[in-house]
């Protein structure tokens, strides 16, 4: 693993596939011009809006999203994560799929979101992700790279389930990707502290791309795409407007924290 720059992209995606992909391309270009070699796009980067409209267009969204990720990775010669887009499963539902693509444009890791966001929030909004999404059945993967470290995947609501990240760290993860579309209501209280907790307890870097702003009259995302170091220090925060959070991923820092706080070696209940 070498020292390199990573980027957590922050978007305001809408129910317009091509407009969203154009926004994503601009932000990828910005991240690469600033030196990023690992770029993460948030959950629902290619479409965020009416769930029935997303379901109706899921075939096109899936095809265009995958094509886009592979094209961008190859064009800019970087590793790219597409943090979540619908992939039809053939029964009127979809997987919420995250895809990691290498600089040669080849898929290197895929994860189908396991934990689905079915909640009734105090602000009056109800979310039933399971109404159109089928939960994945497999643990998220850790993809080992010589240059970027061992990369563990996850998506949004997964961040509330620490056992997922404990398993990823046990599998050797050094960098945890947490692309999200966190709601404004929950994000203001929980987003930052959850990301810091996952970083601290697993002594890993956390890269968390995010959605921000209003997507329709009732749905609003928290923003604050960020990168957190293994000690829990926030290295970059994109605020509440579309943009990019960029920070250095340093193997020496990872080794220092794991040497000073060797909690992964002290686990009793594994």
Active-site annotation, residues: 43, 113, 156
Q: Which of 117, 118, 153, 159 is nearest to 138 (CA)?
A: 153
Place of tokens 């990369």: 151
Residues in the chain: 270
Q: Classify the C-alpha dihedral 215-44-42-264 as positive or negative.
A: positive
Q: Phi and psi for 247 in degrees, rounded to 5?
A: -155, 160
- Determine the 3-state secondary structure of 146 from DSSP: coil
CA atoms of 114 and 95, how far apart (whole Å): 9
Are 84 and 93 within 8 A, CB to CB?
no
Helix (H) or strand (E) holding 73: helix 58-76
Distance CA 187, CA 181 (A): 9
**Three-point CA angle 77, 81, 82, nearest 5°:** 120
């Amino acid at each position: 693993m070498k020292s390199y720059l990573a980027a957590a992209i922050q978007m305001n995606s809408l129910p317009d596939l091509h407009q969203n992909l154009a926004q994503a391309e601009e932000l990828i270009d910005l991240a690469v011009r600033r030196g990023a070699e690992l770029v993460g796009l948030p959950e629902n980067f290619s479409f965020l809006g009416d769930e029935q409209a997303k379901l109706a267009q899921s075939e096109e969204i899936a095809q265009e999203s995958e094509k886009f990720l592979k094209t961008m990775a190859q064009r800019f010669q970087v590793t790219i994560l597409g943090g979540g887009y619908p992939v039809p499963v053939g029964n009127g539902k979809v997987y919420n799929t995250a895809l990691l693509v290498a600089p040669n444009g080849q898929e290197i890791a895929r994860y189908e979101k396991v934990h689905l966001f079915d909640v009734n929030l105090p602000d009056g909004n109800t979310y039933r992700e399971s109404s159109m999404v089928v939960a994945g059945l497999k643990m998220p993967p850790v993809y080992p790279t010589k240059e970027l470290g061992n990369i563990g995947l996850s998506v949004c609501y997964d961040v509330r389930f620490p056992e997922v990240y404990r398993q990823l760290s046990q599998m050797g993860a050094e960098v945890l990707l947490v692309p999200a579309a966190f709601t404004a209501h929950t994000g203001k209280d929980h987003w930052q502290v959850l990301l810091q907790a996952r970083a601290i307890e697993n002594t890993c870097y956390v890269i968390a791309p995010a959605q921000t702003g209003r997507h329709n009259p009732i749905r609003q995302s928290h923003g604050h795409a960020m990168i957190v170091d293994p000690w829990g220090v926030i290295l970059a925060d994109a605020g509440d407007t579309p943009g990019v959070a960029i920070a250095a991923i340093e193997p020496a820092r990872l080794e220092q924290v794991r040497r000073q706080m060797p909690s992964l070696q002290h686990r009793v209940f594994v």
